[in-house]
Amino acid sequence: MTQTRTAAPPGLMPGLMMDRPLLVTQLLSFAAQFHADTEVVTRTVEGPIERLTYAAMWARTQKLANALIGLGVKPGDRVATLAWNTGRHMELYYAVAGIGAICHTINPRLSGDQMRYILNHAEDCVLFFDLTFADAVAENCKGANSLKARVALTDAAHKPAQPALSDVLTYEELIAGHADTFDFPEFDENTAASLCYTSGTTGNPKGVLYSHRALMLHSFAVCTSATMGLSVHDRALPVVPMFHVNAWGMPYAAPMSGCNLVMPGAKLDGPSLFELMDTEGVTCSQGVPTVWMALLATMREKGRKPKALQRVLVGGAAVSEMLIDAFEKEFGVAVNHAWGMTEMTPLGVVNTLKPKFLDQPRDQQMPQKLKQGRAVYGVDLRITDEAGHVLPNDGKSAGHLQVRGPWIVKRYFKSEETPLTVDGWFDTGDIATIDPDGYMQITDRAKDVIKSGGEWISSVDLENAALGHPQIAAAAVIGVPHSKWLERPLLICVAKGPERPSLQEMNAFLVTKVPKWWLPDALEYVTAIPLGATGKIQKTKLREQFKDFRAG
């Protein structure tokens, strides 16, 4: 189905269309002209709600561009941010990229070591930070020799008091004296606009350097109906942070579509989100499952949804049937599953149901809704076997999920190695199926899949099946060596109470949910399953713990 890479033939004739680069500042300039009174509302870190129109934000962005030049920021320089989703952070996105510099969004949840590593690796020249992170800045900027200036995202009245931050500037003072017009230069659309480091579970974080072109094409894709279908009728609240792959592209897609934005700042708990969504008439929102679990608790407490909320996009981790059912059946809020990666700007697939599924009864729809979704236009998807052969999109064959497209990483920042296959695809590290309707479903991480006699067993499917047992509180599955099958599954469980079902009892339960040959060869009980910072099972720790275990 996918196009091969036959080289360009001789004799091609160039088209005669204008040579206009796709640059991100065009988005805000467009919004200022065609959606001048559309709003970006922020719950500020200082407390109050602030309202800006796109016209006002465009003027402030031009003041900031002048201020950045004043600070000595040059094209190609990296400007770091350590900040929540706010209007000021959005102005930084546009002003930094607009002058040809690169907006490096730092994840404040990184450890001090990691933060220092990426500040130095990126050679950031200026750091803009929210007051929440003042202590982290005071602590972690030691030794960040490239930093020429540090700017607190606030006004003079709220300037941080720490002695170690006595030299910091404040954002409002910085931009106050500058003109609100700036002649943004035009340059090649392949120029870098922003930088985000992956939080890899092993090794140092790796930087993904997004181009203007990638961000612009991604924005078009986000605006289509198959993805988020943003429009002038929307008021969108991105819960997913702007330090996490550009808040899934929302700060770019919103001005393109004329959609209003509601920025939650630092308060991401259920009651705060509910209140902001409710008072601001938010229609759609984007975030990870844990955010929706928290909002669900608040909705149940209040017995209603935020008044205008229509739909939420869920990514970052697989969504559960319970969450979909609760949002859709209890509150009438549509849930769309999505999947992407830092290396993918980030959207790869979104699950919107085709008409043929809408006619089905809900229990038949559910398996389809639980899949990650169909490719966003612009992303090529394929699955391959171990030898690199492309597998059929039959919904059954599971293979290495590989992607290709104009917003997929080619190389990491300051790395000479290619992370691509010989034919130019990026291997996601996931194992997935793709069904004949084009819906992709992740079945496992490649490093976690259990290779039993040449066939694959999904550790994730086994874990989910085991979690359905009434006496099991947590479950993990890893592969352990086997003399005949090479690897077989070991089930590791935490019991809810004193009852500990035997392997035979568990398998009698599991056999109704998975193929018989997937059934675990052994069962071990532990007091806790080790989890990482984002709530994912740390299988490397389990493998270490059970490194001498043999299945047969």
- 356-415 positions binding its own copies, by CB under 8 A: 374-375, 377, 393, 404-413
Cα three-residue angle 542-545-547, rounded to 5 degrees: 100
> Scanning residues 101 to 130, which ones bind its own copies (CB under 8 A)?
102
Q: Which is nearer to its own copies, 4 or 202 (CB)?
A: 4
CB of 108 to its own copies, least distance (A): 24
Site string for its own copies, 326-355 (x = CB under 8 A): -------------------x------x-xx
Residue 13: CB minimum distance to its own copies, A: 4
Chosen residue from 64, 144, 193, 284 binding its own copies by CB under 8 A: 193
536 counts as catalytic: no
Q: Is 30 in the site for its own copies (CB under 8 A)?
A: yes
**39, 91, 343, 487: the active-site residue:** 343
Is 177 a binding residue for its own copies by CB under 8 A? The answer is: no
* From 367, 429, 438, 530, residue interacting with its own copies (rule: CB under 8 A): 438
Burial 73-85 (b: 16+ CB within 10 A, else e): beeebbbbbbbbb
The answer to whether 421 contacts its own copies (rule: CB under 8 A) is no
Nearer to its own copies, 407 or 518 (CB): 407
- Closer by beta carbon to its own copies, 32 or else 493: 32
Contact residue for its own copies among 110, 126, 254, 256 (CB under 8 A): 256
DSSP state of 322: H
| 386 included as an active-site residue | no
Q: How many CB atoms lie within 10 A of CB 447?
A: 15
Residue in the structure block whose two tokens are 């997929």 = 408
Q: Are 123 and 79 in contact (CB under 8 A)?
A: no
Nearer to its own copies, 429 or 438 (CB): 438
**Scanning the structure block, which residue is given the tokens 């008072």?**
279
What is the four-CA torsion angle of 212, 214, 215, 217, rounded to 10 degrees? 110
Q: Which is nearer to its own copies, 24 or 174 (CB)?
A: 24
Site for its own copies in 196-255 (CB under 8 A): 208-214, 217, 220-221, 223-226, 229-233
Contact call for residue 416 and its own copies (CB under 8 A):
no
For its own copies, which residue of 18, 161, 387, 422 counts as binding (CB under 8 A)? 18
Interface residue with its own copies among 45, 52, 168, 192 (CB under 8 A) is 192
418 touching its own copies, by CB under 8 A: no
Q: Which residue has the tokens 């910085």?
A: 174
* Strand duo 334-340 + 102-105: pairing: unpaired
CB 28, CB 137: distance < 8 Å: no
Distance of CA 47 to the CA centre of its chain: 27
> Distance from first CA to last CA of the chain, Å, rounded?
42
Compose the 75-104 pattern: x for residues touching its own copies by CB under 8 A, - for all others: xx----------------------xx-x--
* Residue 151: closest CA among 171, 134, 179: 171
Note if 517 is an active site residue: no
Q: Of the two residues 377 and 517, which places its CB atom closer to its own copies in the complex?
A: 377
Given 451, 505, 513, 541, which residue is catalytic? 451
Let me know: does 513 contact 491? Beta carbons within 8 Å.
Answer: no
Please tell me the distance from the alpha carbon of residue 79 to that of residue 374, in angstroms, as a whole number. Answer: 35
The smaller minimum CB distance to its own copies, of residues 10 and 143, is found at 10
How many C-beta atoms lie closer than 10 Å to residue 293's C-beta?
14
> Annotated catalytic residue: which of 38, 44, 81, 198?
198
Distance of closest approach, residue 432 Cβ to its own copies, in angstroms: 14
By beta-carbon proximity to its own copies, the closer residue of 414 and 496 is 414
Indicate the residue among 225 and 512 with the shorter CB distance to its own copies.
Answer: 225
- Residue of the chain from 51, 74, 148, 550 that contacts its own copies (CB under 8 A): 74
What are the tokens at 173?
Answer: 């003072």
The answer to whether residues 537 and 467 touch, using CB atoms and an 8 Å cutoff, is no
Report in angstroms how near the CB of residue 63 gets to its own copies at its nearest: 16
Residue 321 bears catalytic tag? no
Sequence-ordered alpha helix ranges (H) in 266-309: 270-280, 289-302
Provide Rg for the chain, Cα atoms: 25
Given the rule CB under 8 A, which of 23-31, 244-252, 515-523, 536-544 is the region that contacts its own copies?
23-31
Structure token pair of residue 239 = 């819960």
Amino acid at 432: A
Cβ-contact 130, 153 below 8 angstroms: yes
Cα separation of 524 and 454, whole Å? Answer: 25
Size of the site for its own copies (CB under 8 A): 94
Tell me which DSSP letter residue 146 carries: T
Residue in 22, 297, 370, 495 binding its own copies, rule: CB under 8 A: 22
Query: Order of strands across the sheet with 522-525?
Result: 472-482, 486-495, 522-525
Site for its own copies in 442-501 (CB under 8 A): none
Residue type, 33: Q
Indicate which single residue of 112, 148, 156, 188 sits in contact with its own copies (rule: CB under 8 A): 188
Select from 146, 191, 201, 365 the one that contacts its own copies (CB under 8 A). 191
- Binders in 33-62 for its own copies, by CB under 8 A: 33-37
Angle CA 396–315–461, to nearest 5: 35
Backbone angles phi, psi at 532, to 5 degrees: -85, -175
374, two tokens: 């169909």
Among 58, 292, 407, 456, the one annotated catalytic: 456
- Min dist CB 84 to its own copies, Å, is 25
For residues 220 and 546, which CB has a smaller minimum distance to its own copies in the complex?
220
Selected range binding its own copies among 12-20, 156-164, 314-322, 461-469, rule: CB under 8 A = 12-20
User: What is the nearest approach in angstroms of its own copies to the Cβ of residue 74?
Assistant: 6
Q: Is 397 exposed, middle or buried (0-12, 13-18, 19+ CB in 10 A)?
A: middle
Round to whole Å and give the CA distance between 258 and 54: 9
Looking at the annotation, which residues are catalytic? 198, 343, 451, 456
